């Protein structure tokens, strides 16, 4: 028998959503301050309005739904799931008011793309967008990448078990420290330290390639936030091609790789355990996967003679491959070139890289390296079972922070998530094909959205059908939350309708 | 007459040999160029649009004079133009939130995958002409937004006062 959600459930969900909305409102003070400093009156007004709406909504929810009770698993998952939708809508308000978006749906698409660290964009005339709005576009991935609930945990929650439920609901199943709130704060610490280092590095490179100092550091901060959080937004319409610089591309590659690594790696490195990066199943799988997918891309580009020199092939091919595999989505080629020049094989290489994604417990999307590694190990184990005598006991283990013996239960859960991702990629491609786009292009764009990558072969533009925009929004959301929270909210809706 | 005919032939030979086989002087859009990269690769083209972002001066090397990267947006896409630094001196305004950039017309060689620049799609300018001057954008505060903000502030204050009464 399905139980109908009680009023108490709704009150608890509403109360925690109110807290998250207030947290989001506080982040809007950053662009307001930027608008005031850079004397951009109307952009600052856009954020003041969005700030007021957020505070209003947050306070109303806190007052109406006030409760002292803690979250249970179901409520925690629903809070996380809904908080992303509400954050998308509230964050879209200032962007829509900027006049750079064709509709409110386009602005929602942009913010969901940012928060989920995807990077697909529907902005118009980006080259004339204010610093204030541009900063917000890049701050979105920085907030969403670390996790919206993680912000709440580090700011408002003081040691409740509900915190763990929200942390897991955001697609993170690993704690770096025994206490989930300390973990959330450590994630912020890592991110802010890297932000300072990355901004300075990119700022210096920016000045050396001819950017004005103020612009160099602004671009540095933006590119770092969207690169480390594997989002792929850039302040100019040409993305990374705008800079015309090999050094800038190299620094960006480093940032993308750092961002796609497990926060546990960063913690181990901070703790002085450097061997972990070599021994860990994720880093090994990541390395092998990059090599294999780059091999496919390189053969594809070479077959068609896309680039006349090996150096150019490596520079363009490797950058795009790393951008795809880390699920960042930075581009040094125009989206039209993917279809017109790159050919099917190179595109398949990129699609594979996007689908596989980065590391677990990072800001990257996709199936993720730990799962890919476990699936490969399980495959190897089954092959051994076939080859070896019936009575032989086959045991596989892998190293991930510690030595772990593989269990069928673990493999099952990994395969379910892997299958869910593959279904999500295919469903998006089917919707694309329904609207008349060719198979490969539809699959490319769908995988890019669902794996939170952001590379585009040209389908994503303001003229695409509204239903396809909504499809990609759902894909970005489901892909980022790794399904559990999404399944829970679907179950909650069914219970609300059919429950007793 | 005979000498003139010969010299005309020599000139014609050099024109054919030295210059690209085709030129597209009528002006092409970025979409046209990006859709037909192979067709225009290595050809002399004319492209025009607004200068956006920063003019990025690059230091001179032993082999070349100082150059600059200028990104030009024709309203559809922005393309990178590699030009002699002296050409870039005519640029007074580059497009941003607070400025409308100068409109330039660039005649140069289009590269689908430039050998000199690591496979970048770019244009190497041979001639640059300013079509229109850019300008500063005067920003006026939007009264509708200010009014909306005051209304929201009023509602917020009302909720605050009501909550005070409720507490009492």
Dihedral angle, C-alpha A485, A490, A491, A494, nearest 10 °: 160
What pLDDT score was predicted for residue B16? Answer: 47
The answer, for A211 touching chain B at a CB cutoff of 8 Å, is: yes
pLDDT band at A487 (very low <50, low <70, confident <90, very high): confident
Contact A52 B149 (CB under 8 A): yes
Q: What is the ipTM of this complex?
A: 0.88
Q: Is the pLDDT of residue B15 over 60?
A: no
| Nearest residue to A238 via CA among A219, A255, A263 | A219
Chain A environment of B57 (Cβ under 8 Å): 210
Q: Give the residue from A97, A129, A242, A248 with the most B CB atoms within 10 Å of its CB, the best one to mutate.
A: A242
What pLDDT score was predicted for residue A80? Answer: 86
The answer, for A304 touching chain B at a CB cutoff of 8 Å, is: no
Sign of the Cα pseudo-torsion (A226, A231, A232, A237, in order)? negative
Residue of B nearest to A100 (CA): B97
What pLDDT score was predicted for residue A157? Answer: 61
Q: What is the pLDDT of residues A442-484, one digit of tens each?
A: 999 999 999 999 999 999 999 999 999 999 999 999 999 888 8
Q: What tokens were used for A323? A: 């951008």
Residue of A nearest to B121 (CA): A333
Q: What tokens were used for B59? A: 């230091």
Please tell me which of the candidates A131, A210, A244 has its beta carbon nearest to residue B117: A244
pLDDT band at A490 (very low <50, low <70, confident <90, very high): confident
Q: How distant, in Å, are the alpha carbons of A146, A178, A184 from that of A181?
A: 13, 9, 5
Q: What tokens were used for B12? A: 């014609």
Interface A-B, measured as beta-carbon pairs within 8 A, has a size of: 129
Contact B152 A56 (CB under 8 A): yes
Q: What is the pLDDT of residues A306-360, one digit of tens each?
A: 998 999 999 999 999 999 999 999 999 999 999 999 999 999 999 999 999 999 8
Q: What is the pLDDT of residues A139-189, one digit of tens each?
A: 999 988 877 766 666 666 655 566 666 666 666 666 666 677 777 778 888
d(CA A55, CA A147): 20
Q: Is the pLDDT of residue B5 over 80?
A: no
Please tell me which of the candidates A53, A128, A307 has its beta carbon nearest to residue B97: A128
Least confident stretch, A122-136, A348-362, B4-18: B4-18
Chain A environment of B152 (Cβ under 8 Å): 49, 52-53, 56
Average pLDDT of the segment spanning A22-48: 95
Percent of chain A clearing pLDDT 90 (strictly above): 67
Contact A42 B38 (CB under 8 A): no
What pLDDT score was predicted for residue B76? Answer: 93
**Mean pLDDT computed over every residue of chain B:** 87
What pLDDT score was predicted for residue A432? Answer: 97
Q: With 0-12 CB in 10 A as exposed, 13-18 as middle and 19+ as buried, what is A68?
A: exposed
Q: What is the pLDDT of residues A211-227, one digit of tens each?
A: 999 999 999 999 999 99
What pLDDT score was predicted for residue A181? Answer: 74
Q: What is the pLDDT of residues A41-60, one digit of tens each?
A: 999 999 999 999 999 999 99
- Among A402-411, A425-434, B155-164, the range with the most confident prediction by mean pLDDT is A425-434
What pLDDT score was predicted for residue B152? Answer: 96
Q: Is the pLDDT of residue B63 over 80?
A: no
Residue of A nearest to B166 (CA): A63
């Amino acid at each position: 028998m399905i139980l109908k959600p009680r009023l108490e459930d709704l009150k608890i969900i509403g109360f925690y959503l109110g807290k998250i909305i207030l947290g989001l409102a506080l982040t809007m003070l950053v662009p307001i301050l930027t608008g005031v400093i850079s004397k951009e009156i109307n952009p600052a007004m856009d954020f003041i309005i969005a700030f007021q709406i957020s505070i209003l909504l947050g306070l109303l929810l806190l007052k109406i739904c006030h409760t002292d009770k803690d979250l249970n698993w179901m409520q925690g998952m629903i809070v996380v799931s809904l908080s992303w939708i509400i954050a998308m809508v509230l964050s879209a308000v200032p962007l829509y008011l900027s006049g750079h978006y064709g509709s409110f749906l386009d602005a929602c698409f942009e913010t969901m793309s940012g928060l989920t660290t995807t990077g697909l964009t529907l902005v118009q005339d980006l080259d004339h967008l204010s610093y204030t709005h541009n900063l917000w576009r890049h701050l979105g991935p920085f907030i969403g990448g670390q996790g919206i609930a993680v912000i709440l945990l580090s700011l408002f929650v003081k040691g409740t078990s509900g915190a763990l439920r929200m942390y897991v609901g955001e697609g993170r199943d690993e704690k770096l420290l025994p206490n989930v709130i300390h973990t959330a704060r450590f994630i912020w610490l890592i991110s802010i330290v890297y932000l300072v280092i990355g901004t300075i590095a990119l700022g210096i490179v920016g000045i050396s390639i001819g950017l004005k100092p103020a612009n160099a550091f602004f671009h540095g901060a933006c590119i770092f936030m969207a690169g480390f959080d594997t989002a792929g937004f850039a302040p100019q319409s040409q993305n990374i091609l705008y800079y015309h610089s090999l050094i800038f591309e190299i620094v960006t590659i480093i940032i993308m790789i750092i961002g796609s690594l497990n926060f546990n790696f960063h913690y181990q490195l901070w703790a002085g355990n450097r061997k972990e990066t070599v021994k860990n199943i994720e880093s090994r799988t990541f390395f092998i996967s990059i090599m294999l997918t780059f091999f496919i891309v390189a053969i594809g580009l070479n077959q068609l003679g896309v680039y006349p020199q090996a150096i150019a092939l490596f520079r363009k091919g490797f950058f795009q491959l790393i951008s795809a595999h880390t699920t960042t989505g930075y581009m040094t080629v125009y989206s039209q070139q993917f279809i017109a020049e790159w050919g099917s094989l190179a595109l398949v290489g990129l699609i594979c890289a996007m689908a596989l994604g980065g590391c677990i417990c990072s800001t990257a999307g996709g199936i993720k390296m730990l799962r890919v590694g476990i699936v490969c190990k399980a495959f190897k184990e089954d092959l051994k079972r076939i080859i070896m005598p019936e009575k032989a006991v086959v045991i596989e283990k892998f190293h991930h922070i510690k030595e772990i013996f593989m269990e069928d239960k673990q493999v099952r859960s990994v395969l379910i998530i892997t299958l869910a991702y593959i279904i999500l990629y295919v469903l998006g491609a089917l919707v694309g094909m329904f609207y008349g786009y060719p198979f490969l292009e539809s699959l490319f764009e769908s995988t890019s959205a669902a794996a939170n990558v952001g590379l585009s072969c040209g389908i994503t533009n303001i003229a695409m059908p509204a239903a396809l925009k909504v499809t990609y929004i759902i894909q970005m959301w489901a892909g980022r939350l790794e399904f559990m929270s999404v399944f829970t909210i679907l179950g909650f809706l069914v219970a609300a309708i059919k429950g007793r | 007459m005979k000498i003139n005919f010969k010299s005309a032939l020599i000139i014609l030979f050099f024109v054919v040999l030295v210059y690209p086989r085709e030129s597209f002087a009528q002006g092409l859009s970025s979409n046209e160029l990006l859709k037909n990269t192979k067709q225009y690769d290595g050809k002399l083209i004319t492209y025009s649009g607004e200068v956006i972002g920063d003019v990025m001066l690059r230091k001179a090397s032993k082999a070349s004079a100082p150059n600059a990267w200028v990104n030009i947006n024709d309203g559809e896409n922005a393309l990178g133009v590699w030009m002699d630094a002296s050409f870039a001196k005519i640029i007074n305004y580059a497009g941003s939130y607070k400025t409308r950039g100068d409109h330039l017309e660039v005649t140069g060689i289009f590269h689908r995958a430039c050998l000199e620049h690591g496979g970048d799609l770019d244009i190497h300018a041979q001639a640059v002409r300013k079509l229109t001057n850019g300008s500063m954008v005067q920003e006026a505060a939007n009264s509708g937004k200010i009014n909306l903000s005051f209304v929201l502030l009023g509602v917020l204050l009302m909720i605050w006062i009501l909550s005070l009464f409720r507490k009492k």
